[in-house]
Amino acid sequence: MDSKTTSRSAFSLYLLPVVVLNEVLKLFTPFELVALSLCSKSSKKHCKSIRSEAKCVEQTEKFHLDFSSKTEIRLRFQFHPESEWVFQFDNLPKAERKLTRMKNMVSSFFRTNTRNKRKMNYSKVMEHLYFSTFDPIQRDSTYNFFWKTFPITEYSLLIYYSENQVSAVTSWILYLSYLFNVDLDELILNIDQFKNEVNTELKHLLSWKQKNPVKGLTLTSNSSLNDEFLEQVLSLQDAEMYLKLDFNPSPQFSFDFRKFKRKLFLLEITHSHWVHSEQLYELNVRYLTLKRSTLSSVDMKSIVQCWKMVGRLSGSS
């Protein structure tokens, strides 16, 4: 028996014929597939090949990162139409940070949830990232789609980081992106945590280094931000379709929208008191929503006339 067969014999699953094995893996939930992929390089490769099939790639409906008041990754697939799979991040307790490499993950992720019955054991899955269980918490939830609310079942797992949160979350995003053969499509980012400093991590998040840029980006803040910092952030962002600015800058803040890298489908500004008519003349966007605006009706008429002249008018509110 060669070394490859020997290494696989520890998993009875791999004793199945290849065709049968592939069909079995297609029945795995996303969390089960992730758990199996972490067991070995060959497991990771096999799980990746299953998810690379055209039908599987097309079935991914949602791959979102919420990096605001909470930090979580959300996945939704067509083959689980009423389910959402959530990775929630938390700081690893300091007493647990000296851990060895993960062992026997396959035997643990099918076990009954005992996290409240005994002391948690943390398993290291990659640099600075740990799991205590692969048995998800299930709860009923809802989601909104075109102003309608639909029921959904949410399955969540806690994943712990021992060092820099941004770096750890980024590593896990890249892993999921590789495994499920899908790019992150939406990012919600609270920029307060960067303390008015545009560092390497922020640059990476704003212009995500993947095959395609994020389709949607929401930038939030609950504090006073430096005008220069905000200008840098807006210049760096690389959203492909829609951008939501959910922060309240100073009245003196200004930004040249011509610095946007792409033509947006939708731009929404929740505190638009800083937006003046001159800034909007050159704005290249299909739909625009300005909330708490100080623009007068005369300003709006002037903007609309300008957009009509250049054939840019599509929608605004």
**List of residues 6+ apart from 45 with CB closer than 8 A:** none
Q: Half-sphere exposure (CA, 13 Å, Cβ side) for 287?
A: 9
**Tens of pLDDT along the chain (317 residues)?**
344 444 444 567 778 888 888 888 888 889 999 999 998 888 898 888 887 765 665 677 889 999 988 899 999 987 767 889 999 999 988 756 554 444 445 445 545 444 444 566 888 888 889 999 889 999 998 887 777 888 889 999 999 998 888 889 999 999 999 999 888 999 999 999 888 899 888 888 888 766 678 999 999 999 989 999 999 999 999 999 999 999 999 999 999 999 998 989 999 999 999 999 988 888 888 899 999 999 998 988 888 888 877 666 555 55
Q: How many CB atoms lie within 10 A of CB 155?
A: 18
Q: How many CB atoms lie within 10 A of CB 27?
A: 9
Q: b/e string for 112-135 if b means 16 or more Cβ within 10 A?
A: eeeeeeeeeebbbbeebbbbbbbb
Question: How high is the pLDDT of residue 205?
Answer: 87
Q: Are 13 and 39 in contact (CB under 8 A)?
A: no
Question: How high is the pLDDT of residue 96?
Answer: 64
Question: How high is the pLDDT of residue 103?
Answer: 44
DSSP code, position 101: B
